[in-house]
Amino acid sequence: MFSAAVVGGAGYVGGELLRLLLFHPNVRVQQITSLSQSGRFVYTAHPNLRGQTRLKFSHPDELEACDILFLAQPHGAAAQSIERYAALCERLIDTSADFRLQDPDAYRRWYGQPHPALNWLPKFVYGLPERHRDALRDARYVSGVGCNATVTNLGLAPLADAGLLESVVTEVKVGSSEGGGRPSQSSHHPERSGSIRSFKPTGHRHQAEIQQALGDDFALHFSVTAVEMVRGALATSHCFLKEKPAERDLWKLYRAAYKNEPFIRLVKSRTGIHRYPDPKLLAGTNFCDIGFEVDPPCVGVCYVHSENRRQRGY
């Protein structure tokens, strides 16, 4: 039995972590901290957990040693206190973007400032098991993964690994929970409801994670659009290929790549309304669904891939 604690547990990510940990047979949730909710029962912030735990939020200064420590803080917070957190646990998992990028220059470019804990970057393993399972088995420090990056990486990885990609145009539609639990003008219901808003047509930070994972042997055009749903991400990738493989060969490629991956589902239906991945079907799960159609005039493929954000990425 492992003891676990969550730092920053009042938000959406912290609540999802707690839900998963409470029902894990080999984990005992020892502590969950929150500066704003200190002293209150956890279910007051996460009413879906009512009756599942009598834990109260602790003040962050009261954090105790544990086996596994999860950090669910805003971007930038983990790097500022990483020495303290690492001293309190055997293994640490940070869900923020602080330790996702291994290249300090890439971090500076995409986040507009030098990394505050450069010596810690090489210690972290990027937490996408479909790409780094062996390294994750013994990793002491694990970084969370970006939601938009994850849905894109999983959808494109077999093509990238096979060297088939020449260029890709990916557009990701995302739900409102991507912005976190803190209210803002863009998340305000009268502003968000009924709206389809181009959030980042260029320059989204998750593009750096995609390039880190898949390499830069192909041109990537990446955009993110906010739509009226709460959870989930739907990526549509128009892939222009270096050669023209048969559709059956593409299916073989993806089946071979993901045959042993329990959370990847290949969608191949010819009838009904669910012929392609739909994030609505994945809420509360760890699945990523992938489907595609060949586009013969373009020597390309249109891939559709979806996931449930908050569990597959943040």
Give me the helix-helix angle, 129-137 and 147-161, nearest 10°: 100
Rounded Cα distance between 272 and 240, Å, is: 28
147: annotated active-site residue: yes
Q: Give the residue carrying structure tokens 């990483």.
A: 82
243 with 253: CB under 8 angstroms? no
Q: In 3D, which of 158, 154, 135 has the Cα closest to residue 145? A: 154
Rounded Cα distance between 28 and 194, Å, is: 42
Rounded Cα distance between 30 and 99, Å, is: 25
Q: In 3D, which of 212, 230, 213, 211 has the Cα closest to residue 221? A: 211
143 with 92: CB under 8 angstroms? no
Token readout for 309 is 């954000």
Q: Cβ of 141: how many Cβ atoms within 10 Å?
A: 19
**Amino acid letter at 174?**
V
Cβ burial, residue 278 (10 Å; 0-12/13-18/19+):
middle
Catalytic residue (choose from 147, 239, 288, 298): 147
Rounded Cα distance between 58 and 29, Å, is: 13
**Amino acid letter at 200?**
K
User: Catalytic residue positions?
Assistant: 147
